[in-house]
Amino acid sequence: MRSNWLYSQRIAPYVFVLPFVLSLAVFFLYPMVSTLLMSFQEVLPGQTHFVGWSNYKSMADDASFYAALWNSTRYTFWTLLVLIPVPLVLAVLLNSARMKWSSLFRSALFVPTLTSVVVAGIVFRLVFGSLDDSVMNQFRHLLGFQTINWMGHSATGMVVLVVLATWRFAGINIVYFLSALQTIPGELYESAEIDGANTWHKFKSITLPLLKPVAIYVITISIYGGYSMFTESFMLWNGNRSPNDIGLTMIGLLYRNGVEQNNLGLGSAIGVALLGTTMILNLIALQFFGLFKKEE
């Protein structure tokens, strides 16, 4: 028999979860509280003091803030619009009985997920280069258009960002939807067929409602992911500086103010605003999808 209390069955579970409790406290809860506090402070070595709402005021007075918010919101909107329905439909097609070599195609579409944003950014800089011979400009010449500077304009820059996101994330979203599709029992479809349901009815009344939980998960991580996009823009625009802030994102703004200019108070205010925005958007999304009644 062990006499040490550490070995008792009552204490052991707490020892097992201790690493998480410590990590949660030191690297999550404390930073959350401190970012909230810092957003109301001027943080200087040795003389940090409260300054009320002034960080939030300077954030709201800064044109870059609106540029960043606009860019991050547009990016999130387009990635949601492309990266939920398209992978969902592709997963249904891959899962259909008429499809052959599904796992081979799934793997091919999944491979881009494995590349780092840095490498992906380096490739896309070449593909969407501004020179005459750059791949996508050659493609434009084929269609009778002229060479353009892809990263020099707000709209085409956004196109490149969304194409990059689609390339990197379509595969993983397909796999999310596929793994949910494979848990749907085949008998459901068989009995629907006996009742005379066609393909569209089966999709609408069986597949879609049963994919709802995984769709909600994908939407949630896409909203957070969209608003925390930074590296893509960092790579495509040579670091954190783009002409007229056309590539600036919320995290880019936070990085610029908080890290590059070492203004932790203002950076924290931006962080709090960002966290608040994404949480509210997620609650709205959940509420919106919760309102759809299951059609059973």
Smaller CB separation from other proteins, 78 or 124:
124
Smaller CB separation from other proteins, 129 or 209:
129
Interatomic CA distance for residues 93 and 271, integer angstroms: 40
Q: At what angle do helices 85-95 and 102-110 cross, to 10 degrees?
A: 150
Minimum Å distance from CB 66 to other proteins? Answer: 19
Q: Which of 57, 132, 204, 283 binds other proteins (CB under 8 A)?
A: 132
Minimum Å distance from CB 265 to other proteins? Answer: 10
Q: Do the beta carbons of residue 273 and residue 287 sit within 8 Å? A: no
Is residue 35 involved in binding other proteins (CB under 8 A)?
yes
Minimum Å distance from CB 141 to other proteins? Answer: 11
Smaller CB separation from other proteins, 26 or 81:
26
Distances (CA, A) of 86 to 91, 102, 174: 9, 16, 9
Smaller CB separation from other proteins, 21 or 60:
21
Q: Which of 30, 66, 145, 288 binds other proteins (CB under 8 A)?
A: 30
Show contacts with other proteins in window 174-233 (CB under 8 A). Answer: 175-176, 179-180, 213-214, 217-218, 220-221, 224-225, 227-228, 230-231
Q: Tokens 């540029």 belong to which residue?
A: 67
Amino acid in position 2: R
Smaller CB separation from other proteins, 67 or 178:
178
Interatomic CA distance for residues 180 and 100, integer angstroms: 19
Interatomic CA distance for residues 9 and 287, integer angstroms: 42
- Residue count of the chain, please give it: 296
Q: Which two tokens stand for residue 129?
A: 């280069």
Minimum Å distance from CB 293 to other proteins? Answer: 20
Interatomic CA distance for residues 282 and 121, integer angstroms: 28
Q: Single out the segment in contact with other proteins by CB under 8 A; choices: 50-58, 71-79, 90-98, 148-156.
A: 90-98
Minimum Å distance from CB 164 to other proteins? Answer: 9
Q: Do the beta carbons of residue 254 and residue 262 sit within 8 Å? A: no
Q: Single out the segment in contact with other proteins by CB under 8 A; choices: 57-65, 77-85, 149-157, 168-176.
A: 168-176
Show contacts with other proteins in window 43-72 (CB under 8 A). Answer: 43
Q: Which of 126, 280, 283, 286 binds other proteins (CB under 8 A)?
A: 126
Give the pairing of strands 49-50 and 41-42: antiparallel
Q: Do the beta carbons of residue 256 and residue 236 sit within 8 Å? A: no
